[in-house]
Structure 1
Amino acid sequence: MEAKEEIIDKAPQVLCKNCQTSFDGKFCPECGQSVFEYERPFRFLIADFTGNLFAFDTRFWTSLKALTLQPGKQTRNFIQGKRARYMPPFRFFIFVSFLFFLIFSSYLGKTVVVSDENKKEVYQALKQQLDSVQGSKLVSSIKDSVMLSAPKIAVPLPDSSETIGSPKVLDFSFNNDNNDSPFQLDVSEEEVSAEDSNKIEKLKAAVITVMENPKIYMNSFIKFLSWSMFLLMPVYAFILWLFFRKTAPYYYSHLIMAVNQHSFWFLMGTIIFMFQYFLPERDYEIEMWLLFLLPIHTFLGYKQLYKRSWLRTLSKSIGIVFLYSLSMILAVAVIFNFWVQSEFL
């Protein structure tokens, strides 16, 4: 019986165009570059793009389902290496937080109205800023009140207690006769330095802009607030590590937990503000139920990931909430102060 020779076809070698390494497969073992060819007919690129889009869509919905219905399980699976089915946590968080601040900004833009009372509060804030300007020796005396001609609102300002050289007087007045703006801020200065004069001009422009279009500063503050929330995640992860370091000694595990929980919080916030924006008048209050769900979901996430007893998990949850609340208050205060300094002075 004649033996037959078995012919085995070897896969052709691929030459990496980036590092010139010869290899078999779809990715270069040296630099990691894909063998994907972009110089192809356009229909192939459309097919690849569609496939990636549906893959993204599938992972997004899988992550969304696990995040909302199985608190803590997605984090545990991701840490254990079961990652292909889920959207990367940081990418999911960026998407959800972007959606939240978009809806939140739209909601505030729809509901914020500059009433007389709002204007009075603005001038109260302005008074405080002028007090700080006084402390920096910008002026030796400030006119007794800031007058708003329509409607008539006067906010008394304290007299300056220090005199430096000859008198320097800043006269803040608002006039409706200006055709360009219903608010006109006039400042007369004597012997004020160029740096301080620049601060005055910024303050004038800020007051006029706030009164005419408060949305500009509102959007600016939302931007600062979004960055503060992003920077708070590592702080929250560190607090988790402090309380659960015996169960999960590595910081990375707590960081993934922090990202996923912030994603859920932003997701609930998005739903709440969507109801407020699109259905402002309703016979039911779903917002309260969603807010009530937040601590329960967070607690169950701790229980699922760290596997501690119910009582220990509850006690640690209270400590975590307390420390993180203090961190948030401090962060928002710092961000607000930085925002005021950057926008007003």
Structure 2
Amino acid sequence: MSHGKIRDDKTCLNCGHHVEERFCPHCGQENTERRQPFYFLFTHFIEDFTHYDGQFWGTVKNLLFKPGKLTNTYLEGKRQIFVPPVKLYIFVSFITFFVFALFPMVNIGSSDKHNEKQGETGLVKIMKPIKAIGGTQKIIDSIKAKKILTEEDSLAIEKLKMVPDSAEVEKILDMDRTIDSGDGNYKSKKSYDSAKAKNPGFLDFVERPIIHKYFELKDHGITKKELLSNMIEKSFHNLPKALFIYLPLFAFFLWVFHNKKKWWYFDHGIFTLHYFSFLLLIILFIFLFGKLTKLTEIKSLNALLYFVMTIITIYSMGYFFIAHRRVYRSHGLVSIIVGIILFAINFFAFMFLLAGLALVSFMMLH
């Protein structure tokens, strides 16, 4: 309900009809003053989305805890009780994207030199300085060149004789770089291209740009640990985008598996909007709980948060089956079988889409 001041003049500013109460009976415009305090812009915005009369909170409550009720109520024609499906989905999407924007993704490559080199083994860190000065033999020769050798010099020479020479150091470094690459034992982009030129594969057109991008990021000092962390978070941030893209396809699969005369594509679209609004809220809750686990070092509290996240995830999986049975009113066994088939098809198709978005995000890293 709006809190704007009602005009004393009972003539509608929009259509000129007489207004008995707050709203014009002819066009529906609210008969409030044209000029309002500045804060009215913000309160009006919140009112439009949340409806202080309880419509929004009642919608969210039923969406979370009564699977299928919003869809059934809307399809029955009772469309003033709850927030309309499209408006609900847009608002929940807006909130989700806004919260995600407040917590940006991991900025890989921005760490200090210590973190940038955390992918190197301890052996490499020891060998690199030796390689830089030309090997152990040069150090030994420089010590022996002294006119008078002390006991410390003799001990130093004995210890240096136990260290590999420069050729062995280079071999060890090459071995470590090969192990670290993890890309079919390719040391660099050049060695990969050379190997593929001799033995091309059917999917090289897909694999080549990915491997090239990996070596490009590796050359910039980005470790595999940083890259994996970034890709996981990017995939999570891509979930709302993936849901939006997948929405019409989800409704299409529902249309395929149900009676075409009884259920129109429009009906499946309403079910999908409500279900995806629920999923967005679940993603938002899990995201916020996940952020809380990073803010506290109390093990018992973190354990509780992870437990809650697990329960929410399990509930979100069962939610679809409950909502599907209540909306489509199919028999128990039939509903379960159809629900399992739909869930499996949509799960793999959605994962394929999410993987595609993750790949695009990976190729855009710099």
Q: TM over 0.5, yes or no?
A: yes
Q: Which residue of 2 aligns with 1:252?
A: 266
Q: Which residue of 2 aligns with 1:335?
A: 357
- 1:161 to 1:274, Cα distance in 2 relative to 1, 3 A: closer
Write the mapping of 1:270-285 to structure 2, written as runs, cut at 5 A.
270-278=284-292, 279-282=301-304, 285=307
Q: Which residue of 1 aligns with 2:348?
A: 326
More helix by proportion, 1 or 2? Answer: 2
Give the AA of the match of 2:51. Answer: A
Q: Which residue of 2 aligns with 1:138?
A: none
Q: Which residue of 2 aligns with 1:301?
A: 323
- 1:45 to 1:154, Cα distance in 2 relative to 1, 3 A: closer
Q: Which residue of 1 aligns with 2:84?
A: 88
Higher Cα radius of gyration: 2
Give the AA of the match of 1:62. Answer: G
1:208 to 220, 224, 248: 220
Q: Output the CA distance in 2 between the equivalents of 1:225 and 1:44.
A: 34
Comparing 85-94 and 202-211, the one that deviates more: 202-211
Write the mapping of 1:219-258 to structure 2, written as runs, cut at 5 A.
224-246=238-260, 248-258=262-272
Give yes or no for contact 1:107–1:276 (8 Å, CA) kept in 2: no
Q: Which residue of 2 aligns with 1:64?
A: 60
Give yes or no for contact 1:104–1:273 (8 Å, CA) kept in 2: no
Give the AA of the match of 2:331. Answer: S
TM-score (norm 1): 0.58
Q: Which residue of 1 aligns with 2:337?
A: 315
> Which of the pair has the greater relative contact order for Cα pairs under 8 Å at 6+ separation?
2
Alpha-carbon deviation of 1:250?
1.5
Give yes or no for contact 1:248–1:306 (8 Å, CA) kept in 2: no
Q: Does 1:38 align with 2:34?
A: yes
Alpha-carbon deviation of 1:315?
1.1
Q: How many residues align?
A: 269
Q: What is the Cα-based RMSD across aligned positions, in Å?
A: 5.0
Alpha-carbon deviation of 1:328?
0.9
**Percent identity of equivalent pairs:** 21
Give the AA of the match of 1:92. Answer: L
Deviation digits for residues 78-120 of structure 1, max 9, x if unmatched? Answer: 122322221232333344345556369849759xx99789958
- 1:44 to 1:260, Cα distance in 2 relative to 1, 3 A: closer
Give the secondary-structure state (helix, strand or coil) at the position aligned to 1:38: coil
Alpha-carbon deviation of 1:299?
1.2
Give yes or no for contact 1:28–1:35 (8 Å, CA) kept in 2: no
Comparing 309-318 and 257-266, the one that deviates more: 257-266
Structure 1 regions of 5+ residues with no counterpart?
Answer: 1-10, 121-145, 164-199
Give the AA of the match of 2:70. Answer: Q
TM-score (norm 2): 0.55
Alpha-carbon deviation of 1:289?
2.6
More strand by proportion, 1 or 2? Answer: 1
Q: Which residue of 2 aligns with 1:7?
A: none
Q: Output the CA distance in 2 between the equivalents of 1:153 and 1:79.
A: 58
Alpha-carbon deviation of 1:209?
8.0
- 1:255 to 1:313, Cα distance in 2 relative to 1, 3 A: same
Comparing 235-244 and 214-223, the one that deviates more: 214-223
Structure 2 regions of 5+ residues with no counterpart?
Answer: 1-8, 121-172, 198-211, 293-300
Give yes or no for contact 1:63–1:86 (8 Å, CA) kept in 2: yes
Deviation digits for residues 42-78 of structure 1, max 9, x if unmatched? Answer: 6987886786576257222101111122211111111
Q: Output the CA distance in 1 between the equivalents of 2:74 and 2:255.
A: 17
